Structure 1
Amino acid sequence: MADQRNNNPPPRQHLLTPAPGHQPQGEGLVERKTPVAVPLWHIVPRMAGYGVVLFIVWAVLTIMFPNVFTRSSERAVVNSPVSLVTSPVEGIVMKQMVAAGQPFMANQPLMIVQNPNIDRSLFVDLTGKKLDNQQRYDSAKARLESNRRLLAATDSDLQRYNSAAQREHAARVRALEARVAVAKAQEDQQQEVVNRNQNMQWAGAVSEAYTNASRYQLSMLSNAKAAAKAELDNAVGVSEAARNKVYASSTDGPSASLAQRRQVLNAENAQLTAELEQLETYGKEVDKLLAAEQERIDRLSNLEIRSTESGTIEDLIAQPGMRVAAGATLARASNCSQTRVVAVFPRGLSDSLLPGARLNVHVDGLPTPLPASVAEILPRAPDGDQARYFVPFPPIEKNEIYVIAKLNRPLGNLPDKPASGVVPAAAAGQQASSGHCGMGRWARVTLNQSWLGQLRASLS
């Protein structure tokens, strides 16, 4: 076998002939291979396969971790809540003070609605109460005037009767005083007779019986004097009582009747005076209610329709000359300070889209994004909820939610011409009507959070 190995011929070496003018480097000659060009149609299928794999991987990761790979929404529209201008009464629209597209201030008259068939039952009822109260007032006032005249006549009669009674009392007192004086003089005279008879009896000129007879006459005169004195005291007391309006004798009977009548008239006059004051107060209250009701009727007959908030008239539903029912909508208005952005996000981002979360809104036509925050999250938006906004919401699919974003500052008016760019097909009709406050313009809403922060939040 060693011989066989030795008998094998040496391997053949291919010597390359150098090109003219080329000097080989080194002592040995090196064999060079010419590169073979690969055709392009061999590379295309391979690259397509890689692209399909990458797309599948990206789709799977996007489905599994939407809150990591999805940060923005391309389906977002600038919107604004609808402020309805309604009529509280039925009637005919007579005048329009603010045209469509014009702004208005709070409590500014917008329209005038005339209602000739307004309910006036309360006004008629109050008018009837006022007339009835006026009749009662006039009757009470007439009775009071009559009582006052009767009281004046009663006072005059009472004064005359009192004067006559006082004169009669004075005459009686004087007569009784004279009677008492006569009785006293007779008593004194008889006392002298008794004293003289007593002296004569002591002298033995007359008997004791004669002296006792004179004493008896003295006692009779003393009793008569005492009776006259009692009558005088009674007459003086009655006179003093009559002067103090206390009528105790038969002579003061007419005065007592007149005094009692005067008291009754005074009490009745006091009651009538209080009744007049009450009727007058009630009349003033009824007048106030009548004035308020008349003002209400005048106001509702030609009612000025106002809005409690400022804004801009977007479209007029009721034109001048139209008849509207109570509660009917006359116009729809918007307020740029309440501009919202309605965006569609995947339901998996609910944890990152809590109320108050910061957003960036790229409105079509504006070069810079606008800061915003999440105001409301709607799992779905039925027609009733969408009717509260001017622009219809973007369409929603399964596992998606609506996010209502509130701009940090009012958007204001935007130029009518939208910015150049690709507009979604579903927004073509809305984009053409954009203008005031940017309503109807499409936007892109992005979470104001880094990719790393979203990844940490999703992992946590």
Structure 2
Amino acid sequence: MKAATTSIDPRDRKILSVSRILGYAFAFMLIFIIAMAMIPNQFFIVSTRAVINAPVQLIASPIYGRVDKISLQVGQVVNLGDVMATVSNPNQDQTSLTGLRLEKLDLTEKLNNTTSVAAERTEQLNKVKTQIDSVKAGVLSELSAVIVNSQFNVQTYQARLNEQDALLLRQQTLLKKGLISDTSLEPQRQKRNAAQAELDSAKGELRRNEIVQSLVGRDIYTGGTVAANLLTLEMQRTKLAGDIAEDNIEINQMTERKQQVENLIAREEGRLGKTGAAEVTAERYGQIVSVDASFGDFVMQGQPVAKSLDCTEAFAAAVYRSRDVTALEIGTPAMVNFRSLGVKRSGRIYKIVRYFNSGPENRYFAKFPEAEGHEVYVLVKIDEQTAEDGSVAKQNNDKFFGCNVGEEVIVSLGETITSRIARYSKAVVAGLTSPVSILSASASLDKTTGPRLPADKTATP
């Protein structure tokens, strides 16, 4: 009987082995799928209120006059100093120069006032921060003292409970010996239960104070007069920080405009007395997105003849709820979905602001999506496309010129665990295969194994 059971057909044994291998493979795949399903994404939130935007550069006429020559078309690439048009005014006088000087004086005064206001708000913000730190330190110190007192109460009530337990045990011993009755044991049992209740209450008070201390340490205030004062100070700090950010934006805009006016004044002073014509030139690289004047039109000084933008400055502006992006940091990965093109581009968060507008003179190409008081703007810088060899791909100025500005997109913030693992794996492989790492590894190997010997010599023991 034993010989019959041990002699198995080799074909049956192969079938059994294959079945066992397939079973192990199925179990491994099942465990892997369950594990991947239990691992959540790092972070992933989506906004459908997003648009591709970019700062617009105005190509403006330096004087009042008639357009004599213009050679511009939408999509045209312009470089710094390129002549875009020619404007003439035979009756040119110093009216334009006077207007520019008055505008410079006005900009200088506004710039000084705004700078002074920003400095005052910064000083006030520092005072509020110091006050918040002082109040918070005082609250934490007071809570520490309360916790120490609570710990002492717990120790006291614990000692009292131990004493009552000993007395109750003594009464129970006397009851077993028949020296006292059962009725005389009940008062001692009640005293012991009362001591236990006092100890539980003291422990609960200690735990509550420890929780409050932990919450205050993490800037979470649950109630009370001190918590209300801290919340008021936090609101002041937030408002001051937002006002300072707006002041800095306004200062940057006025500084840029002042520099433009100074350039126009210098150009006007050099032109007066020579000719009644001026050239409209581009002040930086970009692509023409609109032509606002044609041959024979009369234009005012500073009136835009055309508008251009630089695709390297394009970004996606998306609206999110403030609480959804509180934990996000600058540099968080993002994905921008161009719905009309059916393509996706990766990017990074480079700014999170509460208030943002188009600025004077249509500073941005597209209007920002409407945001409510509890929402913020998340600005995403789109990564440059790379070629197959890993180099940055050259942009085709004829295809989708203007970087798709004004197009509504879907922005997803965060990075899945699988993409994160893939990114880390690529970084590790790149680090291991780089010449520097190989050289350092070989050097460390030489240090640990000793000096190398020539090929015709062997090491002696």
TM-score by length of 2: 0.38
The structure that has the greater radius of gyration is 1
